[in-house]
Structure 1
Amino acid sequence: MGGLDVLVFYVPVADTDAVLAALFEAGAGRVGDYDSCAFVAPGRGQFRPLAGADPTIGHLDQLTHVDENRVELTFPREIRAHVVAALREAHPYEEPAFHVLENQA
Protein backbone atom coordinates (compact mmCIF):
# COMPACT_ATOMS: atom_id res chain seq x y z
CA MET A 1 0.00 0.00 0.00
CA GLY A 2 1.29 3.49 -0.90
CA GLY A 3 1.45 6.56 1.28
CA LEU A 4 -0.87 9.47 1.66
CA ASP A 5 -1.16 12.46 -0.64
CA VAL A 6 -2.51 15.88 0.31
CA LEU A 7 -4.90 17.73 -2.01
CA VAL A 8 -5.03 21.52 -1.69
CA PHE A 9 -7.58 23.47 -3.71
CA TYR A 10 -9.48 26.74 -3.79
CA VAL A 11 -13.25 26.92 -4.21
CA PRO A 12 -15.99 29.55 -3.87
CA VAL A 13 -17.40 29.51 -0.33
CA ALA A 14 -20.91 28.57 -1.49
CA ASP A 15 -19.60 25.50 -3.38
CA THR A 16 -17.28 24.14 -0.69
CA ASP A 17 -19.63 21.57 0.86
CA ALA A 18 -20.69 20.10 -2.50
CA VAL A 19 -17.09 19.70 -3.68
CA LEU A 20 -16.06 18.17 -0.36
CA ALA A 21 -18.98 15.71 -0.54
CA ALA A 22 -17.78 14.55 -3.98
CA LEU A 23 -14.22 14.13 -2.72
CA PHE A 24 -15.34 12.21 0.36
CA GLU A 25 -17.42 9.95 -1.91
CA ALA A 26 -14.26 9.38 -4.00
CA GLY A 27 -12.37 8.16 -0.92
CA ALA A 28 -10.57 11.30 0.24
CA GLY A 29 -10.63 12.65 3.77
CA ARG A 30 -10.11 9.44 5.75
CA VAL A 31 -7.62 9.54 8.63
CA GLY A 32 -7.44 6.38 10.73
CA ASP A 33 -10.89 5.70 12.18
CA TYR A 34 -12.29 9.05 10.97
CA ASP A 35 -13.79 10.15 7.69
CA SER A 36 -14.89 13.48 6.19
CA CYS A 37 -11.66 15.09 7.46
CA ALA A 38 -10.65 18.41 5.88
CA PHE A 39 -9.15 21.76 6.78
CA VAL A 40 -11.01 24.78 5.39
CA ALA A 41 -9.76 28.38 5.63
CA PRO A 42 -11.35 31.49 4.09
CA GLY A 43 -9.60 33.89 1.76
CA ARG A 44 -9.97 35.94 -1.40
CA GLY A 45 -9.03 34.58 -4.78
CA GLN A 46 -8.54 36.52 -7.99
CA PHE A 47 -8.24 35.77 -11.69
CA ARG A 48 -8.64 37.36 -15.11
CA PRO A 49 -10.30 35.16 -17.79
CA LEU A 50 -8.42 35.44 -21.09
CA ALA A 51 -9.55 34.87 -24.67
CA GLY A 52 -10.81 31.31 -25.08
CA ALA A 53 -11.95 31.00 -21.46
CA ASP A 54 -15.55 30.24 -20.51
CA PRO A 55 -15.63 31.62 -16.95
CA THR A 56 -18.25 30.48 -14.45
CA ILE A 57 -17.74 33.75 -12.58
CA GLY A 58 -16.50 37.04 -14.03
CA HIS A 59 -16.03 38.30 -17.58
CA LEU A 60 -13.31 38.03 -20.21
CA ASP A 61 -10.36 40.38 -19.70
CA GLN A 62 -11.71 41.65 -16.35
CA LEU A 63 -10.00 41.01 -13.03
CA THR A 64 -12.40 39.17 -10.72
CA HIS A 65 -12.18 38.75 -6.94
CA VAL A 66 -14.04 35.90 -5.23
CA ASP A 67 -14.51 34.90 -1.60
CA GLU A 68 -13.07 31.40 -1.60
CA ASN A 69 -11.99 28.67 0.77
CA ARG A 70 -8.61 26.98 0.74
CA VAL A 71 -9.29 23.31 1.41
CA GLU A 72 -6.80 20.61 2.36
CA LEU A 73 -7.45 16.89 2.75
CA THR A 74 -5.56 13.62 2.55
CA PHE A 75 -6.16 10.48 0.54
CA PRO A 76 -4.34 7.22 -0.27
CA ARG A 77 -1.83 7.78 -3.07
CA GLU A 78 -3.21 4.90 -5.12
CA ILE A 79 -6.52 6.73 -5.68
CA ARG A 80 -4.92 10.03 -6.76
CA ALA A 81 -6.29 9.95 -10.32
CA HIS A 82 -9.79 9.14 -9.02
CA VAL A 83 -9.71 11.98 -6.45
CA VAL A 84 -8.42 14.54 -8.96
CA ALA A 85 -11.11 13.47 -11.45
CA ALA A 86 -13.77 13.90 -8.74
CA LEU A 87 -12.44 17.39 -7.97
CA ARG A 88 -12.53 18.42 -11.63
CA GLU A 89 -16.07 17.05 -12.03
CA ALA A 90 -17.51 18.66 -8.89
CA HIS A 91 -15.69 22.01 -8.96
CA PRO A 92 -17.67 24.89 -10.47
CA TYR A 93 -14.68 26.49 -12.23
CA GLU A 94 -13.60 25.64 -15.76
CA GLU A 95 -9.98 25.44 -14.50
CA PRO A 96 -9.85 24.76 -10.74
CA ALA A 97 -6.65 25.80 -8.99
CA PHE A 98 -5.21 22.87 -7.02
CA HIS A 99 -2.05 20.99 -6.21
CA VAL A 100 -1.24 17.53 -4.88
CA LEU A 101 1.58 16.99 -2.41
CA GLU A 102 3.15 13.65 -1.54
CA ASN A 103 3.12 13.27 2.23
CA GLN A 104 6.49 11.83 3.23
CA ALA A 105 5.40 10.83 6.76
Structure 2
Amino acid sequence: MSQLHALVIYVPDSHAEAVLTAVGNAGAGRLGDYSHCSFRAPGTGRFTPSPGARPFIGTTGVPEEVSEVRIECIVEEDVLDAVVLGLRQAHPYEEPAFMSWPVNGHR
Protein backbone atom coordinates (compact mmCIF):
# COMPACT_ATOMS: atom_id res chain seq x y z
CA MET A 1 0.00 0.00 0.00
CA SER A 2 1.28 3.40 -1.01
CA GLN A 3 1.28 6.65 1.01
CA LEU A 4 -1.98 8.58 0.66
CA HIS A 5 -2.04 12.22 -0.43
CA ALA A 6 -4.81 14.77 -0.24
CA LEU A 7 -5.28 16.60 -3.53
CA VAL A 8 -7.14 19.90 -3.85
CA ILE A 9 -7.86 21.44 -7.26
CA TYR A 10 -9.52 24.73 -8.15
CA VAL A 11 -11.22 24.76 -11.55
CA PRO A 12 -13.87 26.86 -13.32
CA ASP A 13 -17.38 25.38 -13.09
CA SER A 14 -17.36 24.81 -16.83
CA HIS A 15 -14.48 22.31 -16.61
CA ALA A 16 -15.15 20.61 -13.27
CA GLU A 17 -16.59 17.42 -14.77
CA ALA A 18 -13.71 17.06 -17.24
CA VAL A 19 -11.14 17.44 -14.46
CA LEU A 20 -13.01 15.06 -12.14
CA THR A 21 -13.12 12.44 -14.90
CA ALA A 22 -9.45 12.91 -15.81
CA VAL A 23 -8.12 12.60 -12.26
CA GLY A 24 -10.46 9.70 -11.49
CA ASN A 25 -9.41 7.86 -14.63
CA ALA A 26 -5.76 8.38 -13.62
CA GLY A 27 -6.39 6.77 -10.23
CA ALA A 28 -7.49 9.53 -7.85
CA GLY A 29 -10.35 8.89 -5.45
CA ARG A 30 -9.97 5.14 -4.96
CA LEU A 31 -11.52 4.01 -1.69
CA GLY A 32 -12.00 0.30 -1.22
CA ASP A 33 -14.34 -0.95 -3.96
CA TYR A 34 -15.09 2.60 -5.17
CA SER A 35 -13.38 4.83 -7.70
CA HIS A 36 -13.66 8.51 -8.68
CA CYS A 37 -14.54 9.51 -5.07
CA SER A 38 -14.30 13.24 -4.42
CA PHE A 39 -15.81 16.21 -2.67
CA ARG A 40 -16.49 19.54 -4.30
CA ALA A 41 -17.61 22.93 -3.11
CA PRO A 42 -18.32 26.18 -4.94
CA GLY A 43 -16.24 29.31 -4.48
CA THR A 44 -14.74 32.32 -6.18
CA GLY A 45 -11.23 32.35 -7.61
CA ARG A 46 -9.35 35.63 -7.93
CA PHE A 47 -6.25 36.35 -10.00
CA THR A 48 -4.53 39.00 -12.13
CA PRO A 49 -2.80 37.81 -15.30
CA SER A 50 0.74 39.24 -15.49
CA PRO A 51 2.41 40.46 -18.71
CA GLY A 52 3.29 37.42 -20.82
CA ALA A 53 0.37 35.35 -19.49
CA ARG A 54 -2.13 33.77 -21.85
CA PRO A 55 -5.21 33.69 -19.63
CA PHE A 56 -8.10 31.36 -20.44
CA ILE A 57 -10.33 33.91 -18.69
CA GLY A 58 -9.55 37.59 -18.15
CA THR A 59 -7.20 40.23 -19.48
CA THR A 60 -3.53 40.86 -18.70
CA GLY A 61 -3.14 43.33 -15.85
CA VAL A 62 -6.83 43.30 -14.85
CA PRO A 63 -7.97 41.56 -11.65
CA GLU A 64 -10.49 38.81 -12.40
CA GLU A 65 -12.97 36.84 -10.30
CA VAL A 66 -14.31 33.51 -11.55
CA SER A 67 -16.92 31.09 -10.24
CA GLU A 68 -14.89 27.97 -9.48
CA VAL A 69 -15.19 24.59 -7.83
CA ARG A 70 -12.81 23.26 -5.16
CA ILE A 71 -12.30 19.55 -5.74
CA GLU A 72 -10.83 17.37 -2.99
CA CYS A 73 -9.83 13.73 -3.27
CA ILE A 74 -7.27 11.25 -2.02
CA VAL A 75 -4.53 9.85 -4.23
CA GLU A 76 -2.08 7.02 -3.64
CA GLU A 77 1.47 8.29 -4.03
CA ASP A 78 2.34 5.78 -6.75
CA VAL A 79 -0.27 7.34 -9.11
CA LEU A 80 0.11 10.99 -8.00
CA ASP A 81 2.27 11.99 -10.99
CA ALA A 82 -0.23 10.45 -13.44
CA VAL A 83 -3.12 12.19 -11.66
CA VAL A 84 -1.36 15.57 -11.84
CA LEU A 85 -0.64 15.01 -15.53
CA GLY A 86 -4.32 14.20 -16.11
CA LEU A 87 -5.52 17.28 -14.25
CA ARG A 88 -3.11 19.52 -16.20
CA GLN A 89 -4.37 18.09 -19.50
CA ALA A 90 -8.05 18.55 -18.60
CA HIS A 91 -7.73 21.92 -16.83
CA PRO A 92 -8.27 25.01 -19.00
CA TYR A 93 -5.90 27.32 -17.11
CA GLU A 94 -2.35 27.95 -18.24
CA GLU A 95 -1.27 27.40 -14.60
CA PRO A 96 -3.84 25.25 -12.76
CA ALA A 97 -4.17 25.96 -9.05
CA PHE A 98 -3.78 22.74 -7.06
CA MET A 99 -1.95 21.39 -4.03
CA SER A 100 -1.25 18.03 -2.45
CA TRP A 101 0.20 16.77 0.79
CA PRO A 102 0.70 13.40 2.53
CA VAL A 103 -2.07 12.33 4.89
CA ASN A 104 -2.63 9.52 7.33
CA GLY A 105 -5.36 7.16 6.24
CA HIS A 106 -6.55 3.67 6.92
CA ARG A 107 -6.55 1.37 3.92
TM-score w.r.t. the length of structure 1 is 0.96
| Aligned length in residues | 105
Q: Percent identity?
A: 47
Amino acid at match of 1:49: P
Query: Match of 1:15?
Result: 15
2:25–2:36: 8 Å Cα contact kept in structure 1? no
**RMSD of the alignment, in Å?**
0.8
Query: Match of 2:54?
Result: 54
CA distance in 2, matches of 1:35, 1:82: 15
Greater than 4 Å deviation, 4+ residue runs: none
CA distance in 1, matches of 2:100, 2:11: 15
SS at match of 2:85: helix
Unaligned runs of 5+ in 2: none
TM-score w.r.t. the length of structure 2 is 0.94
Alignment of 1:1-105 (within 5 A): 1-105=1-105
Could you give the per-residue CA deviations for residues 36-91 of structure 1, whole angstroms, max 9, x where no partner exists?
A: 21000000011000011000000000000000001001111111111111111110
CA distance in 2, matches of 1:3, 1:67: 32
